[in-house]
Structure 1
Amino acid sequence: MPKNKGKGGKNRKRGKNEADDDKRELVFKEDGQEYAQVTRMLGNGRCEAICVDGTRRLCHIRGKMHKKVWIAAGDIVLVGLRDYQDDKADVILKYMNDEARLLKAYGELPETLRLNEGVDVDGPEDGEEGSDYIQFEDEDIDKI
């Protein structure tokens, strides 16, 4: 019979349910880093984000954050830029909602950036214009 070489089962892999409610120090960008807002999740540890400098980049979620820090569309993240690929970046840190508000108050994020708490997920209401929503025709769906 083989000896047990593991350190436990699936409950150990999940870890303790520790809440990160304690205040952590606010991390500002350095050289080679940029703030970005996630536009959509692509799967396989990747996402698409619009950086503050106006560039749309394909971002890779680093292994330390993968399956531990959940990132959704609309979240503010800190990405590390690549010297050899300008259209790709690596997600270093995800900012909580209150940290993103602080970054906006300090002037690190532009005033035109809409934070996640103000995003309308239900769609446009009566009388509002839905510029963010795309209406597809039947021909477009057949092409997909």
Structure 2
Amino acid sequence: MPKNKGKGGKNRKRGKNEADDERRELIFKEDGQEYGQIQRMLGNGRCEAACIDGVTRLCHIRGKMHKKVWISSGDVVLLGLRDFQDDVILKYMPDEARLLKAYGELPENFRLNEGVNVLEEEDDAPDDDYVEFEDEDIDRI
């Protein structure tokens, strides 16, 4: 039988926590960077982000974050703007995104989903999810 030369398999890699409990310093944008919100994931390490300046950009998730930081639609990110490719530099946690909005970095009309799809429904509003047919309408069909 061959010797075990490695230090373990995929479970060893899965058990690593990159100091999730620590609070990190809030990073603001600099020249050549922009805040954005992920609209949709496109696959192959790419996503579509709506930026603060009103432009929708096709972004690339950089290799340092690939398979380590999971990005989903609705997340607030920091984008590095370059001539040939826009990169996702940093993903903000929900509390960091709220702080950015409080500091005035994000506009007031910027909606923070915080990773949860919340359907806002009013109790008084009628349900418009279905169409109701009369008997004579069904006969014509």
TM-score normalised according to structure 1 size: 0.75
The offset of 1:3, in angstroms, is 6.5
> In 2, distance between residues paired with 1:98 and 1:25?
12
The offset of 1:44, in angstroms, is 1.3
Equivalent in the alignment of 1:140? none
> In 1, distance between residues paired with 2:91 and 2:14?
20
Match of 1:94 among 91, 96, 100: 91
- Residues 1:38 and 1:128: Cα distance change in structure 2 (over 3 Å): farther
Q: Report Cα offsets for 1:31-87 as digits up to 9, x if no partner.
A: 11100000111111111000111110001111111111111111100010012x4xx
> In 1, distance between residues paired with 2:94 and 2:34?
18
Equivalent in the alignment of 2:34? 34
Equivalent in the alignment of 1:75? 75
How many correspondences in the alignment?
127
> In 2, distance between residues paired with 1:92 and 1:70?
13
| Structure 1 counterpart of 2:92, one-letter code | Y
The offset of 1:7, in angstroms, is 4.0
**Structure 1: unaligned runs, 5 residues or longer:** 131-144
The offset of 1:19, in angstroms, is 5.5
After TM superposition, list the pairs within 5 Å mapping 1:1-144 onto structure 2.
6-17=6-17, 20-83=20-83, 85=84, 88-117=85-114, 120-122=117-119, 127=125
- Residues 1:120 and 1:11: Cα distance change in structure 2 (over 3 Å): closer
| Structure 2 counterpart of 1:114, one-letter code | R
- Residues 1:76 and 1:118: Cα distance change in structure 2 (over 3 Å): closer
| Structure 2 counterpart of 1:92, one-letter code | I
Structure number with bigger Rg:
2
> In 2, distance between residues paired with 1:41 and 1:2?
42
Give the superposed CA RMSD: 2.7
- Residues 1:100 and 1:129: Cα distance change in structure 2 (over 3 Å): farther
**Structure 2: unaligned runs, 5 residues or longer:** 129-141
Name the SS for the 1:116 alignment partner.
Answer: coil
- Percent identity over paired residues: 78
